[in-house]
Amino acid sequence: MIVKFNNAYLQKVFEGKQVTGKPKYSQDVILKYKKTVLMLQITESIKELRKFRGLNFEALKGEYKGYFSVRVDLQYKLILRVEKDSVVITDVLIIEDLRNHYQ
């Protein structure tokens, strides 16, 4: 799938670029985040993504209605938005945020 970023900080972290200030996440969380994004990139569709039970792909409710999430680890989830590419029918995942499950 095509993965885009709507969060500049998370894009820099994924690309291994230098980020200013105190890190928001531990190295362990960053490694799991990168692994999760790579899994999203190699997955061909939302239907295939649902097969990875460990990611726990799900639609969100409440203030995040219209968004989806995948599990990075037991504490963190990645907030996503899904779009369809108009030229080629492809699922496009847009990474919005990396949040603690319990916030």
pLDDT tens digits for range 43-70 = 888 888 888 888 999 999 988 898 999 9
Q: What is the pLDDT of residue 52?
A: 86
Contact 39, 50 (CB under 8 A): no
Q: What is the pLDDT of residue 103?
A: 59
Q: For residue 95, what is the enclosing H or E element?
A: strand 91-100
For the ranges 4-8, 21-25, 99-103, the lowest mean pLDDT is seen at 99-103
Q: What is the pLDDT of residue 82?
A: 87
pTM of the predicted structure, to 2 decimals: 0.86
For residues 88 and 38, what is the distance between their CA atoms, to the nearest angstrom?
A: 21
Contact 54, 46 (CB under 8 A): no
Which CATH code of 1.10.460.10, 3.30.2310.20, 3.90.1150.10, 1.10.3720.10 fits the domain covering 2-100? 3.30.2310.20
